[in-house]
Every structure is written in structure tokens, then in C-alpha cells.
Amino acid sequence: MPMNEPPRSARSNVRASVAFLALLACPAILHAGPTDPTLVISSALAAGAPNRIVLVRGIFPGSDLVQNPYPLQCLVHSLVDGTAYVRFAIADQAYTGSDAALADGLDAADVPGLLAAGTVAPDGQVIGLRPDRLDVVLPASFPAGPAEVQFFVLEPGDTVPVLSNPFPVQVPLP
């Protein structure tokens, strides 16, 4: 039988806890400008075969993405060889590629190169958007195995991107 989940009155406490943990985990947020977004990944789960989905939960401007094509990016970075990635330009397309700069993880310096690179992956797509959850379908070519998911955004006119914390995910075989 279905059971109850935490009541609405617990929301603010949950949000505050998630945000606090994010601040500890993601120093970039501390240096964010006045309207920089808060980007936090609190969980990530991959499932399905042959079509594989990654469910990413956290804090991101989900309500704004209904109104506008905000340039949020979601990077799924394989840890198998350390360089393969799929980048979901949330309001646009998915791009795949390989970037040696990702071998030590995504940092701000990697972002301009990532945004300029990659090959369009028609079978990768954003399949679901909710205020606290983003669902993406991985391209068939993306390797199975350990990976990391990370949000980032570089707004037009800005030179410093905002990055979320990375979150591990185990990608199943297609």
C-alpha cells in the first residue's frame, strides 16, 4: 500500500539542508554573482536498456527553463577512460565527444572548450524537466560503467561559469 512522504511543512528544511550541503561541496557557488543560479545535484540514477536514462535530481532553475531557453548544460562524463562525455545543452541538443581536459574532472577552465566542441548526438535528448529533476536519454555510443554528472552554465557575456557538484552514476550496458 502507498505510504506517506514527508509533509509539505518539511520542505523548507529539506531545501535548506540540500543547499547547505551544496555550499560545502561546491565552492563555485560561494563565488557566484547576484543572479548566478544555484546548481546542486543531490542524486543521479541511470537505468534502462537498450535505451538508457539518467535521472538527475537537485537544484537548478527548472521554473525558468519553462519560460526561457536558459543555457544550462548537463554533462555526463565517463570515468572509464576519463575523457568521453555527452553534453546536454538543456534547451537545445546533445553533443558527444572526448576531451582530455576532463581526465581530472570538470573545472571552470574546461567549459569554453567543451561548449565549442562535440558532435551532435541525435539519439541523446532531454526527455523530462521538472522543477527538481532532469531526465536525459544517453546516446547509444556512451560507454557503460562509472560516470559523473554535473551541471554548469556560462551565461552570455559572462566569462566565469557556474558549476554544480559532480555526482557519481553507474551507467548500465545498452
Partner 1 sequence: MITKARFLATMTLLSVGLLGGDCVMRISDPTDAMLDGDLVDGSTGRMAEIVPGGPWMKPGPDGRFETTDDLIYPNYTGDADLVLRTGITSLGATFPAPVTPSAAPVGIAEPFGQGVGIPFVVSGSARSPRDAPGPPTNAPSLAGAPVVVAAFADLDRDGFIGITDLDGDPFDNGIEESELDHVGRTVAIVQAGQASGVLRLRAGGPAGNPLTIVLAAAAFAGPLDPAFFGGAVPDGPMVMTEIPFYPRTDPADFINAGPKGPSPPTPGGLLGVQIEPAYEPRFGDPRVGERFTIPVDGSAQTVSLAVGRSGAFTRFGLGMRPDPATHKSAPERPIRPGLDDLDQPMAYEILHALTVADDGAGNPTELRVVPLDRLGNIADIASTFAVTVQTGGTLQIVTPDTDGDPFRETVMVDHARGTSIFVDDGGLAGDDASTDLLVIDDGVAPNAVEVTLTFP
- Distance of alpha carbon 112 from the chain centroid: 17
Binding flag, residue 159, partner 1 (CB under 8 A):
no
Q: Tell me if 135 sits within 8 A of 126, measured CB to CB.
A: yes
- β-bridge partners, 126: 136
Contacts with partner 1 by CB under 8 A: the residue count is: 45
- Contact with partner 1 (CB under 8 A) among 27, 48, 113, 146: 48
Binding flag, residue 6, partner 1 (CB under 8 A):
yes
**Calculated CA dihedral for residues 42, 47, 53, 56, nearest 10 degrees:** 0
- Contact with partner 1 (CB under 8 A) among 19, 23, 25, 55: 55
- Distance of alpha carbon 72 from the chain centroid: 9
- The whole-angstrom separation of Cα 89 and Cα 125 is 9
Burial classification of residue 2, based on how many CB atoms lie within 10 Å of its CB (0-12 exposed, 13-18 middle, 19 or more buried): exposed
Binding flag, residue 25, partner 1 (CB under 8 A):
no
Cβ nearer to partner 1, comparing 84 with 138: 138
Cβ nearer to partner 1, comparing 91 with 101: 91
- Contact with partner 1 (CB under 8 A) among 27, 112, 113, 128: 128
At its nearest, how many Å lie between partner 1 and the CB of residue 103?
Answer: 30
Q: Tell me if 167 sits within 8 A of 152, measured CB to CB.
A: no
- Contact with partner 1 (CB under 8 A) among 22, 44, 52, 74: 52
- Contact with partner 1 (CB under 8 A) among 30, 67, 104, 109: 67
Cell of 24: 560545502
- Contact footprint for partner 1 (CB under 8 A): 1-8, 11, 33-35, 37, 45, 47-48, 51-53, 55, 61, 63-71, 90-91, 125-133, 135, 137, 155-156
